[in-house]
Amino acid sequence: MRLLFLGDVVGRSGRDAVIAHMPTLRERLDPDLTVVNGENAAGGFGITVKIAEEFFAAGVDVVTLGNHSWDQKELVAAIDQQPRIIRPLNYPEGTPGRGFVLLQARGGRKVLVMNVMLRLFMDPMDDPFAAVDRVLRAHRLGPNGADAILVDVHGEATSEKMIMGHFCDGRASLVVGTHSHVPTADHVVMKGGTAYLTDAGMCGDYDSAIGMKKEVAMAKLIRKLPTERLSPAEGEGTVCGCYVETDDRTGLATSIQPVRLGGRLSQSMPVRG
């Protein structure tokens, strides 16, 4: 299978970049499944159903979230009607929405997409390892199980993300980090056959502070005085993420390649295997 994952979409620049590059990505890579992290799509803070629908219309199959899941309050009430918008698995019991979704992809293949939040330097959550383990025990990769399993690991610390990668190695097709808003260059197929990337990077304007206007973020951090509210930078966005191909017999990855299109970063368009 061919899997496309794009990192945190930040504001209008990020949304415009995703909408603009999806046709080329679909043409060149013909993904069986496309997942986008949308936690910052609405002005940097959360996402609305309307924006998610624009992503779906552009060919996105699943939207994942993170610590900004509920910044747009309407989503709290709406998410239960939106099986393809998933929030972190390890929120408290009783949280609306779900932490994973099982989809039918092209050709009747079954795909599982999961979203989990890590804990170092972040809001306290229940154990992400136990949560992921429960799902991976219930839904095994490979013959008679899922054809592909994709885990969006929303976290700050690189150590914890790498450990989650090893924890899932051999049991998922792709473990990819989000939240840092900077793409990492450590894409690798691990020894057990799981593709891994510490962070997908954001879809947004990189002449910024992780997608937000740099002048405001700088004043806030350095001067520690009240400023105007942080809002997304408005320059041309870069679409960032990764493209993974799997072995249809095992569901494990055969390759992972970075995606970086448009905007200010060095460009990387994957090549279909």
Where does this chain bind Fe ion (CB under 5 A)?
A: 8, 39-40, 66-67, 179
* 126 scored as a contact of a second copy (CB under 8 A): yes
* 210 scored as a contact of a second copy (CB under 8 A): yes
Phi then psi for residue 144, to 5 deg, are 70, 5
From the CB of 37, what's the least distance to a second copy, in Å? Answer: 15
In 8-133, DSSP assigns E strands to: 33-37, 62-64, 85-86, 100-105, 109-117
CB nearer a second copy, residue 3 or residue 146? 3
From the CB of 212, what's the least distance to Fe ion, in Å? Answer: 10
Closest CA relative to residue 197, chosen from 246, 171, 164: 164
Choose which of 17, 89, 190, 195 interacts with a second copy (CB under 8 A).
190
Distances in whole angstroms, Cα of residue 261 to Cα of each of 8, 64, 163, 211, 232: 14, 21, 29, 16, 19
* 188 scored as a contact of a second copy (CB under 8 A): yes
**CB 25 within 8 Å of CB 257:** no
Task: Please confirm, yes or no, whether 181 is among the known catalytic residues.
Answer: no
Give the dihedral of Cα atoms 136, 139, 144, 149; nearest 10 deg: -70
* 81 scored as a contact of a second copy (CB under 8 A): no
What type of residue is 79?
I
Q: What is the binding site for a second copy (CB under 8 A)?
A: 70, 73, 76, 91-96, 119-121, 123-127, 129-130, 156-160, 162-163, 166-167, 180-188, 190-191, 198-199, 201, 206-210, 214, 217-218, 221-226, 258, 260, 264-266, 268
Give me the active site residues, please: 68
